[in-house]
Amino acid sequence: MILPDASPSDADVAGQMTVSELADACRRETQRFLRGEPARDEFGVELFRRAVCEREPLAWEAVVDQFGGLLLGWLKRHPASDLLRGDEDYVVNRALTRFWLAIGPERFHRFTTLAGLLAYLKMCVHCALLDEVRARRVACDPWPSVGDGEDQDLPATAGPDGISIDRVTEHEMWQTIARELPDQEERLVVYLSFALDLKPGEIHRRHRDRYATAEDVYRVKRAALERLRRSAAMRSLLV
């Protein structure tokens, strides 16, 4: 798991590193996380801070280089992605621009973890996708029915008007999800799936005490998404 709270000394170290050093450290910690080892995220947060708050071109290039593939993966797993017809890179660039303009130095302090920043970036990806779909005058239901596959996504990423990302914060979104999902197993699956982008098989391996098989994860995830899709609170948050 990513450890969300860095000690002051760790944060100070990250603040004194060059962009190249930050990018290397962030990459190493990401690999530790993917191996299921404890990992720190202050390097990634500092890299984003320099890109967003200080507008450092090298920091922004490092962010794009390190997380661009993740954005493309989110985009391709969205139910509406097949409507793009090969324009994935264009939509990813639109999402990055939206993220960069929407947060800004005045809002960056709201995001204290790398997982939070990536969750917000994921919303921007899906909003940019739906903006492009609407621009092509393609009818696209922003609240798709939950099927049997693992590629369905949270309603919170696609509101009826592409989500007002100036109004909805990470905290508000997850507080609403927590209220709407009283079952702890469902809340955990949703968080691991959409904040940390883990697949059902990965969730099963990390939490065998809660989910006996990957199919159990699928089942819990489908139930949680269906509950959120019907939630009036989720809908009111996004309009």
pLDDT in tens, 121-142: 888 888 888 777 766 643 333 3
Last residue within a domain, chosen from 110, 140, 170:
140
pLDDT, position 63 = 92
Q: Are residues 46 and 150 in the same domain?
A: no
Q: Are residues 118 and 26 in the same domain?
A: yes
Query: Could you give the CA distance from residue 127 to residue 134 in angstroms, rounded to a whole number?
Result: 11
Last residue within a domain, chosen from 123, 140, 157:
140
The whole-model pTM stands at: 0.55
Query: Could you give the CA distance from residue 182 to residue 217 in angstroms, rounded to a whole number?
Result: 17
Q: Are residues 13 and 91 in the same domain?
A: yes
Mean residue pLDDT of the chain comes to 75
Question: Could you count the other beta carbons within 10 Å of the beta carbon of residue 28?
Answer: 13
Query: Could you give the CA distance from residue 181 to residue 174 in angstroms, rounded to a whole number?
Result: 10
Longest dimension (CA), the chain: 52
Last residue within a domain, chosen from 105, 140, 175:
140
Q: Are residues 109 and 73 in the same domain?
A: yes
Q: Are residues 215 and 164 in the same domain?
A: yes
Q: Are residues 126 and 34 in the same domain?
A: yes
pLDDT, position 142 = 35
Q: Are residues 85 and 21 in the same domain?
A: yes
Number of independent structural domains in the chain: 2
pLDDT, position 154 = 33
Q: Are residues 80 and 155 in the same domain?
A: no
pLDDT, position 119 = 86
Q: Are residues 40 and 132 in the same domain?
A: yes
pLDDT, position 48 = 93
Q: Are residues 24 and 123 in the same domain?
A: yes
Q: Are residues 22 and 105 in the same domain?
A: yes
Q: Are 166 and 224 in contact (CB under 8 A)?
A: no
pLDDT, position 147 = 35
Domain extent at residue 18: 1-140
Q: Are residues 96 and 73 in the same domain?
A: yes
pLDDT, position 11 = 59
Residue ranges, the chain, pLDDT below 70 = 1-11, 34, 85-86, 134-173, 194-197, 235-239
pLDDT, position 160 = 27
**DSSP H helical ranges for the chain:** 8-16, 19-34, 42-52, 57-77, 88-107, 114-135, 170-180, 184-194, 200-206, 214-229, 232-238
